[in-house]
A and B are shown apart, each in its own frame.
Chain A
Amino acid sequence: MKYLLSTLILFFSILTVVAQEAIVTGTVVGAEGETLPGVNVLEQGTQNGTITNPDGFFSLSLLTEKPVLLISYVGYITQEITVAGRNSMRIVLTEDLINLEEVVVVGYGTAKKSDLTGSVTSVKPRELNVSGISNAAQMLQGRVTGLYISSHNQNPGATPEFILRGASSFQEGEAGQPLVVIDGFPMDNTSYINTINPSDIEQIDVLKDASATAIYGSRGANGVIIITTKQGNKQGIQVDYSAKVFTQTVARTIDVMDAQQYARFYYDLAHDPNLQLGGYGPSNGYPHPFGTWDTLHNTNWQNEVINSGNFSQEHNLSLSGVREGVKYRAAANYYGGQGIIGPSNYRRINTLARLDYDYKKFSFNLNLNYTNEHRNLVENSFERSLGFSPSSPVYDKDGNLSQHAFEANRSWYYNPLWPEDASESFSEDNTTRMSGGLEYEIIKGLRASVKGGITVNNSESFFQRFKPFYATEKDTEANISSSGNRQIYTDFFLQYTNQFSEHTISIMAGGSYQHFRNRGHWSSAVNFPYPNIGFYNINAGLLERQMGSNWYEKQVVSGLGRINYDYRGTYLVTINYRLDGATVFGPEHKWGHFPSFGLAYRMDQEEYFSNAVPFLSIFKIRAGYGLAGNDNIPGFRTQQLIGFRPVHVGGGITNAIYWGNTYNPEQAYIPNPELRWENTYTLNVGLEIGNPKFYTEVNYYSTQHKDLILNRQVPRELGYTNIMINRGSMINTGIEAKLDLFLSFFNSELKWKPGLWISYNKNEITDLDGDVILDKDVWIERTSYGYTGIKQKGYPLNAIWGYDFIGIWQESEQEEAATYNAKPGDPKLADINGIGENGEMIPGPDGQITEQDRIFMGDANPVFTGGFSSQLNYRNFELSFFFEGVFDKAVVNVNKATLTFPSHQYGNNKATRVLDRWTPSNPSNDVPSLTRNLDEKLVRSNWAIEDGSFLRLRDLTLTYKIYFEGDKPIKNLRIFGSASNLLTFTRYSGINPDVWAIDSDYNLIPFVRVFTLGVNASF
């Protein structure tokens, strides 16, 4: 009785409360019926809101007369629902698959993509099936219009190379790379992308044009890649665990001769009456006497070096949630990968913790991240495995690794398995990143924000060789080195946002400071008393004891400001201004100014438009123009500096000086106190059209890079090689287009999301100060065969030039061949031009093949890139794949020369193609006749310079998802299997067309397919 009474009283009191205020409850679900926790439910016009609980349920007391609820959730389209007296509602949210409302991170803040005036592409890992990926850069491969990342080196832990909207710098390496920003912190080197685990990434935004990048001023010139890590966002605790295992297989091997064919080839070469062999007389001109060939061993060296049973795994565990307003996330990741060529491997441990907390007017966040990478750098030689004599067994009769069949080569050509047998080499990288930020709302609409952080990276490497390399070398050697980078970054700004009537204005102003330091030391010695003492105690090395150290610092100070204005959400204007000063420039030129502006017109917000074309949710035209800068040059270039090193001129030892920053005359430079910022002017015009079922975006851009820093050659006779000057300029123009569709069939049981994109980029040097730079020289066996690259005005930066190969001289052409000092069986090159008295070009054949007969072969950077992706969902299954296409890029296939040209080439094995060489009875038009020497002009002609275009099925993944209802500990489970690089369509004759510029034995890496199995679970 007592209980019944109190219950009744309770009930009536509740009723009373309820009767005074309306309460609405509801459940929010997604399109598949799955409940959505953490959804924002806000009463429109008020601050009154709540979020759904883990079961998707909410309850809200309403304050207004005619309440309208705004239901919003990341990745879903916000809905406005009039309550209309209902007490309980079931709200179905549709996924914002075309991301009309997506929030992108732009410099110093976020914005909705629909409100942007600049060109930004966002990639969300949770939307892609990023199963096979272990490296954040791979996540971007083939998915961002205008961004090309080569997949030549698939080894995990390799530093990616980005080309965003074309080549943009005359300098090698980092200088042309986009800026990588991690959680608001600009990193000085793109390799830091390796320290982020893909499963910790919430989103990657790629900023492409000036109005997007100018706010980043320094290095914004090459584009910006912003990585944002995940925050805790669900009430309570969520635990996620994922694991995957994968293996690599070689997709394409080279068919080389077997022992019999090899022996015979060199026998034929030594006995060919037409060839002068000089020092290779009968006694050492061929390795195996006639008649012994059937008894030879036959070793397949490629199989010996390939790590066929390789196995890699990755595990991820994360804990995240929201508790009393504090969003937290902690994660740990382990990756252990074996390379395709033994015994190299890569191991990474990554841990992070992130806290976000809003308290009254304060907003606070803290990020901690630690990564440890260990790389075993010993790698058996794939390149040697192609050339080493197949008639040598792996081990000789004494149990040692066998030697080359050619006696004369023994001291230089080591057995492909020698590195593993004789050396040890590894490196370890530790990276720690700590950052924190504080925001404070001073008054309504005015926020102050300050952020600071430090990244410390230490890289140590160790090497020792404990067996002789050449037959003559007895000594053991070892070296160790350590290099430390430290970056400190801080920024602060004020932001004021206000909306009055139909105008919204936001003003931001602030500054930043960045300090970078690198210091390192190394030491080496040879002649250790026992093997395996080496780098553990380098002091035990008796001879050639050397050491060195270095220390370098750089600072950048900046001021920045931005104004965003929009009128009715229809007319949008952004103006950026940034002022940067960097220590690396000359005394009068430290500062650079980078203004930019962008305009956009949201036609879809106009009434007449939404009435006329209601099915389009977005129709936006935007244009932007601006200036961004690049300060990524090495330091110490603006003053004459003098260094010291010891020198012996007899019995004593004295200090000698050097200048130009190095005593190596090959690299010495003249200082230039006028060095200043590189400037990039970008014009971008874009059109976006979309609705929930489709989205298309087209951009046209024209990017002028000016005042580019060139290592301008100076006459070598001055004792220097070059001087750094700001005199280069080049231009990239291009078009990017993409189309995404979201289609559903059979009552949403079957959903298909195809996407297609293509981009075109034309790169051209517009000024090189009259200089012509030769590069991309072809090296074979320590000898240079000349240059294939020419940098000059009017051609792309990475232009490749070569002779025009038109066939093989046949017997019927003997007379004409003789006029070119050739005979039937020799390659025939087109005689296009002649040389005048002063070395100038005269059109018309002149009876000689000279440098003037070279023609432009193409750009080593691709002209067209594109991709096609498809994601198919049927109930709990998902099948996704994507194709990447890269077209119109020139590659110098040096390996074609070393492997299929029938010359002696120091006794190396060759591809079986040489068996098809020209003979009078086999008048080939592609492989020349037996010859003594590699023809250096043929190597630099389109016999070897090929088109490296390809279309590749990058990824194919099948996933099965299971959702668990109710109170089970496990909420959902995903199981997947995927394969990468399954199919490649290409005409390229080498191993992998996705190689940059020169495919030679120096960068020979087998082309691999990766097969992955994995599971993700959320608890």
Chain B
Amino acid sequence: MKYLYILPVTLLLILAWACDDVLEEKIYGQITDDEFWQTEQDAVSAIMAAYGSLGGDWEGFTFWQFCIEDMGTDIGTGGYFGTLDYQAYTGWSGTTPDFVDWGIWPSFWRTVNHANAVLDRVPDMDIDEEVKKRVIGEAYALRAMIYFYLVNWFGGMPEITTTLEAPTEIPRQTVESNYTLIESDLKNAIDRLPDKSTLISMGEQDYGRVTSHAARGMLARAYLQQGKWTECAAVCQEIISSGEYSLESNYLDIFSLANEGFNNKEVIWVIPFIAGTSPAIDACVLQVYLWRAPEKPDYDKYYDWSGNIRVTSSFFSTFENNDLRKAGLFSSTDATEDPIMLLKHPADPATEGFSSGTDYPVIRLADVLLMRAEALANLGDLESSVTEVNKVRARAGLPALDAGNFTSQSLLDHIRNERRWELYFEGHARRDMIRMDYNSMIEYIKSKSADWEAVGAERYLLLPLPSSALASNPGLIQNPGF
């Protein structure tokens, strides 16, 4: 009898000891982290992850620019965006819109995560120094770009600079601290990145990768937002005097499909899109929403989700006569109210559904010139400021200005308008309005928001943090008033 007990026990023991190998999980279709991080191609794949994780939400990125930065100001109107339903999309309600909660927020932070991974792991890789330097530079630049937009839309953000820790609570830092990080990242990037002509001589195909001047442009933007006029003017001058960029002679050529790639003289940092890539990875949605008017060619190819988005007549009427930049706008005879529609981002005939190939400029030379002009005007150097403005005006077919006719403030007021006429629907209007015409911004908020009297108009200068972020990170505190 007692032998019988031995048998099952032995069986169990044999099982337990012999089977540990059997229980190792077999992985198919992916590799382990230990096997990666070996070659130059691995380093490039890693930084491509940072570009690509904005991937399906590059669409979100441009969509956000459009909704918040442009539709959320007095230059855009109409369609659903004028109604209470969509106030969240333009920033005038107490809830964050869906595309923030489950689009931008996770993909922005994923980009930061991918950039941090590169910064953690690539320096120790045993690979070609030039490849290593460039990839690290791109990581710094992308991280800084993400932080710039987050700080401007939400205020002070948690600072995450490594992937080696995973705390359960991450507190917010101040806006000043964030900008310090942004500036140091961009300076690190500028030191490491090649410029456009170097890339062309290398035979680089990917014209969307960050260059040294792109990082400079973002640094100038960061300085401008903080009111660091001298630094801003200096960095802008570096870009201008490099000779790498010049203004396109025809305004619409900045955006045209034929002029995409390194051929484009003016664009400094562009988000390149390719039609037909799916699911909306690398695709630009922006112009799809704006294109629908019966007079436009192929208009029925595009969705009318937007419900008649329009450019405001009040903005249109501010243009000077004969301003060639009005070519980017179009007055439709089909609409009875608000007939002005957007034309400057061209429709891509290869568009499939939401997936269109029209590139989106993030920074271009005209913007840099106007930033320098604004910085100089703030410093009191009206002559140099007007010189820059006149370069932009010349392309627009407008007469040059005379510095003698302006005071510092009146020149700034003019530059404000010049930026609107030049950079409309490129993701600048809201930021510019807050920076350069604060009172108008407050008045605009009051006209749009349903509850500003109860909560104060100032609260709408920032967006509320998405509820998913607050739920998952107890260290976050919502913006005041939300």
Contact = CB atoms under 8 A, between A and B. Distances in A.
Contacts of A553: 26, 28
Contact of B355 (A544, A720, A821): A544
A509 B12 CA distance: 8
A511 interface: yes
A659 B353 contact: no
A507 B6 CA distance: 12
Interface string A745-786: 000000000000000000000000000111000000001100
Contact of B106 (A472, A555, A666): A666
A933 B84 contact: yes
A668 B110 contact: yes
B230 interface: no
B112, B276, B353, B476 — which one has the most chain A CB atoms within 10 A of its CB? B353
A716 B106 contact: yes
Contacts of A774: 467, 471
A473 B352 CA distance: 9
For the side of the interface on B, what is the size category?
A: 35 or more
Nearest to B4: A496
Interface stretch (A72-80, A271-279, A920-928): A271-279
B90 to A, nearest CB: 12
Interface residues of A, number: 95
Interface stretch (B203-211, B376-384, B387-395): B203-211
A590 interface: yes
B202 to A, nearest CB: 12
A65 interface: no
Given A544-B352, A715-B167, A411 B303 contact: yes
B305 interface: yes
Contact of A647 (B111, B282, B305): B282
A657 B46 contact: yes
Interface stretch (B29-37, B248-256, B404-412): B29-37
Interface string B437-463: 000000000000001001000000000
Contacts, number: 266
A494 B473 contact: no
A924 B383 CA distance: 70
B106 A278 contact: no
Given A470-B303, A581-B19, A719-B112, A543 B276 contact: yes
A641 B157 CA distance: 29
B296 interface: no
A474 B282 CA distance: 22
A665 to B, nearest CB: 4
A716 B208 contact: no
B479 to A, nearest CB: 12
A971 to B, nearest CB: 47
A475 B301 CA distance: 10
A511 B11 contact: yes
Interface stretch (B74-82, B232-240, B427-435): B74-82
Contact of A651 (B19, B102, B205): B205
B468 to A, nearest CB: 6
Interface string B114-140: 100000000000000000000000000
A557 B48 contact: no
A579 B23 contact: no
A641 B278 contact: no
B211 to A, nearest CB: 12
Interface string A617-659: 0000000000000000001101111111101111110111111
B336 interface: yes
Contact of A507 (B8, B28, B101, B304): B8
A670 B113 CA distance: 12
B310 to A, nearest CB: 10
Contacts of B12: 509, 511, 559, 561, 579
Nearest to A511: B15
A262 B159 CA distance: 54
A531 interface: no
B22 interface: yes
Nearest to B353: A473
A8 interface: no
Interface stretch (B50-58, B188-196, B417-425): B50-58
B45 interface: yes
A647 B11 contact: no
Contacts of A670: 166
B109 A277 contact: no
Contacts of B300: 471-472
Given A412-B305, A509-B11, A648-B272, A526 B352 contact: yes
Contact of A719 (B26, B114, B169, B355): B114
A584 interface: yes
Contact of A783 (B30, B98, B106): B98
Q: Which of the listed residues A544, A551, A579, A657 has the most CB atoms from chain B within 10 Å of its own CB? A: A657
Interface string B154-194: 00011010010011111000000000000000000000000
A650 B29 contact: no
Contacts of B4: 446, 496, 507
A510 B32 contact: no
A839 interface: yes
Most chain A beta carbons < 10 A, residue from B32, B52, B107: B52
Interface string A438-469: 00000000100000000000000000000000
A583 B15 contact: no
A362 interface: no
Contacts of A579: 12, 15-16
Nearest to A281: B337
A642 B33 contact: yes
A715 B282 contact: no
Nearest to A551: B28
A668 B78 CA distance: 37
Contacts of B112: 717, 719
Contact of A717 (B30, B81, B206, B473): B473
Contacts of A19: none
Contacts of B152: none
A550 B308 CA distance: 43
B105 interface: yes
Nearest to A546: B278
B23 A650 contact: no
A84 interface: no
Interface in A492-508: 494, 496, 507
Interface string A569-601: 000000000010111100000110000000000
Contacts of B282: 647-648
A768 to B, nearest CB: 13
A612 to B, nearest CB: 38
B328 interface: no
A652 B205 contact: yes
B343 interface: no
A280 interface: yes
A906 to B, nearest CB: 9
23 contacts: A278-B83, A279-B307, A511-B11, A526-B352, A550-B29, A554-B25, A581-B16, A591-B16, A641-B33, A647-B48, A647-B55, A649-B52, A650-B207, A663-B55, A665-B53, A714-B168, A716-B472, A717-B157, A717-B473, A719-B106, A723-B166, A784-B101, A838-B477
Interface of A: 276-281, 283, 408, 411-412, 446, 470-475, 494, 496, 507, 509-511, 526-527, 543-544, 546, 549-555, 557-559, 561, 579, 581-584, 590-591, 635-636, 638-645, 647-652, 654-659, 661, 663-666, 668, 670, 713-721, 723, 772-774, 783-784, 821, 838-839, 932-933
Given A559-B12, A714-B168, 14 more contacts: A408-B307, A509-B12, A544-B278, A554-B25, A557-B15, A559-B11, A639-B27, A657-B36, A715-B469, A717-B157, A717-B170, A719-B114, A774-B467, A774-B471
Interface of B: 4-5, 7-9, 11-12, 15-16, 19-20, 22-33, 36, 41, 44-46, 48-49, 51-53, 55-56, 78-85, 98, 101-102, 105-107, 109-114, 157-158, 160, 163, 166-170, 205-209, 261, 272, 274, 276-278, 281-282, 300-305, 307-308, 336-337, 352-353, 355, 451, 454, 467-469, 471-473, 475-478
